[in-house]
Amino acid sequence: MSRLTYDDDLFLRMECVLDVPVVNQIVWRFDEPITRESLRAMWENLRDGPINRTVERVRFPGARDTWTRAGASLPLELDDRVLGASELADWMENRAAVRLDPENGPVWQLAYADTDGGGSVVSLVASHVVGDGGALTSSAIAAVRGPGDPEDFRSAWDAPRPGDISDAAGQIGAAALGTVRALGRGARDALRRPTKDKTTASIPVAPVHPTRFGEFAPSTVVVDCPTEQWTAAAASAGGSANSLLVAVAMGVLTASGRVHESDAVKVSLPVSTRVTGDLRANATSGVSIQVEGGGGYRRDLGDIRRASKDAFTTLADSSLSTTFELTKPLMQMLPDAIVARAAKSATAPLCLCSNLGNRGSALRSLGGVDARSVAMRSITQQTTAELLRRTKGGVSVWWNTSGATATLCVTGLDPDLFPSREHLCTLIADEYDRWELTPTFW
């Protein structure tokens, strides 16, 4: 696919139309320094790899934009300071705030700093337009190991590219067929629906007087614990690593006052659809489950585990095309003005849990040095307190293992209930204590 998919286009519009860029970040924490030679080799491999792509806009109506090799890259950023332990979180935030340009480049940055005690830290940030978390981690793995594309994220500019007229005709046909099928499905669902539809009460938001206005970066915390502790805690409650991740996120969300203990909460679970030979920049789908109120998940993770498994199984059945999937071609053709208008009512997930599994293990070694831990996360840039309140987000969490260490990144999207990193740390520490996990905060 040499042209942008709907998901690629979505993140492009978020940046170019709505002025809220989204970036993905990987951060390595080492107990030793990394040689300049290893860093430069990684930088060169990233420059020559598939993540170094930019968008070439197409003017023919209906045709999708295309990918081209980026012509500009930011140089390797070498910080001349030695970071103290208390400076690491701010350094990560500053790296994640780098300005990128998916149309003209640059679209990624590799940065390095030494830390107190002879350690070091490395950050890789890339625009979400040019790659989702899977694309970035695959690019990083390939860049660490040597030149060449990852198996599941290939350079798009070498792929056959149909003409603009042909692509526009295909998109118009797909949009028409998808819309007809979606309308038919909607009509059938309406006929099958009981006359008295059961409604679900909306989850109340704790009334908090706003105290922050204007530019506001959501509070984010990174925390490690032994992988074996996480596995044991999940098993003791009849769950998996993923169901414990959901339970921890729910605990933090509830403790903040964003939801009540008795509320049922919809939890969003991103799922990678990346395959061998994939050319797509963004190849992520997702499912949702409902966690019932009452706090029963604190004692038994079985319901979360079963609900997640059922949702993943349904998603894997390619014959079950959702109405959303059917209308993607039409939505990608919508003018920017309509997208901007529709975005005014868009909301963020109340609880998003992204389980990246053992991706950190494949990334762990750089220049012959093993990382203490590897953190992965997604960040929305240029946010304001007003925007965060309007989009009504709760918590977003990302989890992975890198050998003996399990790393969790937590972002609190409510500017009033997660007012600071310190406050979020307290909520996470309490939740880890509840599950008998030993937290080590970055």
Nearest to 152 by CA among 141, 144, 163, 161: 141
Alpha helix stretches (DSSP H) within 256-397: 302-316, 323-326, 328-332, 336-343, 359-363, 385-391
Q: What pLDDT, on a 0 to 100 scale, did the predictor assign at position 200? A: 38
User: At 225, which helix (H) or strand (E)?
Assistant: strand 219-226
CB 304 within 8 A of CB 250: no
CA triplet 431, 434, 436: central angle to 5 degrees? 110
**DSSP-assigned beta bridge partners for residue 399:** 355, 408
Nearest to 22 by CA among 138, 126, 106, 122: 126
245-291: per-residue pLDDT in tens? 999 999 999 999 999 999 999 999 999 999 999 999 999 999 999 99
Residue type, 178: G
The CATH architecture that domain 6-170 belongs to is 2-Layer Sandwich (3.30)
Domain ranges of the chain: 6-170, 207-325+338-358+386-441
Q: What pLDDT, on a 0 to 100 scale, did the predictor assign at position 391? A: 96
Q: Which CATH class is domain 207-325+338-358+386-441?
A: alpha beta
Residues of the chain predicted below pLDDT 50: 195-206
Residue partners of 339: CB distance under 8 A and separation at least 6: 13, 17, 18
pTM of the model: 0.91
Q: What pLDDT, on a 0 to 100 scale, did the predictor assign at position 191? A: 62
Q: What pLDDT, on a 0 to 100 scale, did the predictor assign at position 195? A: 46
On the question of a common fold for 6-170 and 207-325+338-358+386-441, the answer reads yes
Q: What pLDDT, on a 0 to 100 scale, did the predictor assign at position 194? A: 56
Q: What pLDDT, on a 0 to 100 scale, did the predictor assign at position 184? A: 64
Q: Is 319 exposed, middle or buried (CB count within 10 Å of its CB: 0-12, 13-18, 19+)? A: exposed
Nearest to 39 by CA among 31, 387, 47, 61: 47
Concatenated DSSP letters of 120-177: EEEEEEEETTT--HHHHHHHHHHHHH-SS--TTS--GGGS----HHHHHHHHHHHHHH
Residue type, 182: A
